[in-house]
Chains A and B, each alone.
Chain A
Amino acid sequence: NAGVTQTPKFRVLKTGQSMTLLCAQDMNHEYMYWYRQDPGMGLRLIHYSVGEGTTAKGEVPDGYNVSRLKKQNFLLGLESAAPSQTSVYFCASMNPYLEQYFGPGTRLTVT
């Protein structure tokens, strides 16, 4: 049981490039989330999903897109990266008791 996994662990992009972050969970959870963590700002919700085929906007959705084609996977896309998107990105899933489990994070730098 791997829990929540994220790939890649690190990535450096140039401004304007695109990329996709992959999150996978093997706990059969319906709810999945993408957060970003920045110094002094805590964790902020980007997008979330309440089940396969669904997505919804969180607190800071601009510049990001997501897809949940399979229940176990939640993808976060950056179409045109900007330096303001330099951050650590965390994926999470939630069990029926409303307890969230987090992945190890992806450290993204946009130059």
Chain B
Amino acid sequence: KQEVTQIPAALSVPEGENLVLNCSFTDSAIYNLQWFRQDPGKGLTSLLLIQSSQREQTSGRLNASLDKSSGRSTLYIAASQPGDSATYLCAVRDGATNKLIFGTGTLLAVQP
């Protein structure tokens, strides 16, 4: 059964710092991996989608990488800002079930 883990569960950094969020999954048979942002009391906003054949995707200050063989993805945030404070979720689309399996998220706080 596919399981997705995100470490750390919470992270606090000063403004301007570059940071990395980690996501690992147990079964490398995936269709894609998606990173989301969730603000308190709000829905999920899609940040980046990496297809299984891709190694990375970039959007503005965000860069996500995927290493399927090792079951890992990282989300790199450059020059962090207080507005980046949110919970970041990764999810893999499992190749066996075609279901989107979520991690439990990393709560990021960027201190001004």
Does chain A have a CB within 8 A of B46? yes
Number of A-B contacts (CB under 8 A): 45
Asked whether, in the complex, the Cβ of B103 is within 8 Å of the Cβ of A102, the reply is no
CB-CB under 8 A from A43, the residues of chain B are 89, 91, 102
Does chain A have a CB within 8 A of B99? yes
Number of residues on chain A facing chain B (CB within 8 A): 20
Asked whether, in the complex, the Cβ of B43 is within 8 Å of the Cβ of A104, the reply is yes
Knowing A42-B103, A97-B49, the reply to whether A90 touches B43 (Cβ < 8 A) is yes
Knowing A97-B49, A102-B44, the reply to whether A42 touches B105 (Cβ < 8 A) is yes
Asked whether, in the complex, the Cβ of A42 is within 8 Å of the Cβ of B34, the reply is no
CA distance A42 to B103 in the complex (A): 7
Q: How far is the CB of A50 from chain B (nearest CB, A)?
A: 10
Within 8 A of A (CB), among B72-112: 89, 91, 93, 99-100, 102-105
From DSSP, what is the main secondary structure of chain A's interface residues? strand
Within 8 A of A (CB), among B39-61: 41-46, 49, 51
From DSSP, what is the main secondary structure of chain B's interface residues? strand
Asked whether, in the complex, the Cβ of A100 is within 8 Å of the Cβ of B34, the reply is yes
Does chain B have a CB within 8 A of A40? yes
Does chain B have a CB within 8 A of A2? no
CB-CB under 8 A from A33, the residues of chain B are 100
CB-CB under 8 A from B105, the residues of chain A are 42
CB-CB under 8 A from A62, the residues of chain B are none
Does chain B have a CB within 8 A of A45? yes
Asked whether, in the complex, the Cβ of A105 is within 8 Å of the Cβ of B42, the reply is yes
CB-CB under 8 A from B99, the residues of chain A are 45, 58-59
Which residue of B45, B49, B102, B104 is within 8 Å of A99 (Cβ)? B49
Which residue of A40, A97, A103 is within 8 Å of B43 (Cβ)? A103
CB-CB under 8 A from B36, the residues of chain A are 102
Proximity string of chain A (4-22) to chain B, C-beta cutoff 8 Å, 1 when within and 0 when not: 1000000000000000000
A contacts, CB < 8 Å to B: 4, 33, 40, 42-43, 45, 58-59, 90, 92, 97-105, 107
